[in-house]
Amino acid sequence: MIKSLDPRITRAEINLENTIEPLRDLDQWETYEVFHQKKRGDQHMHVGIVHAPNAEMAFIFAKEQFGRRGLSVNIWVVKTRDVYVSDYEDSDIYETVPEKNYREAGGYKVMDKINKFKKGL
């Protein structure tokens, strides 16, 4: 038995030569993606993953992992395998025309016309 400097370890009566079966697949469960909202009105932000056997446990782990300091008002968890993702290899699908002024506020300047019109009155 280990006689440790740590009384908790001595109390646990651990054999120094313990051998164990290797962890099998899914021993650590599947993963959930975690979305954290810092305060009301903010977007939920993706902050990482937790391993969990079900959504309720995923929530408990996520609260501990991502909400234990600072502000939190809400957390969502969703199974990684339920997230539909696009592939970086296909990032050309986001390519667009270089000039997209027509769909931005800055693309519309009317004051010149108005001023010119007023002068002409």
Position among 29, 37, 38, 55 found at the interface with other proteins (CB under 8 A): 29
Phi, psi of 19 (to 5 degrees): -120, 145
In terms of Cα–Cα distance, which of 35, 43, 38, 33 is closest to 76?
Answer: 35
Distance of CA 35 to the CA centre of its chain: 5
Four-CA torsion 111, 112, 115, 120, nearest 10 degrees: -140
Number of residues that bind other proteins (CB under 8 A): 46
Q: Is 7 helix (H, G, I), strand (E, B) or coil?
A: helix
Applying CB under 8 A, the span of 37-45, 64-72, 93-101, 109-117 interacting with other proteins comes to: 64-72
CB closer to other proteins out of 28 and 101: 28
- Considering the rule CB under 8 A, would residue 10 count as an interface residue with other proteins? no
Angstrom distance (rounded) from CA 59 to CA 75: 7
Please report how close the Cβ of residue 1 comes to other proteins at its closest, in angstroms. 10
- Considering the rule CB under 8 A, would residue 48 count as an interface residue with other proteins? yes
Which spans of this chain sit near other proteins (rule: CB under 8 A)?
2, 4-9, 12, 14-20, 22-31, 33, 46-51, 53-54, 57, 64-65, 68-69, 80-81, 83, 85, 87-89
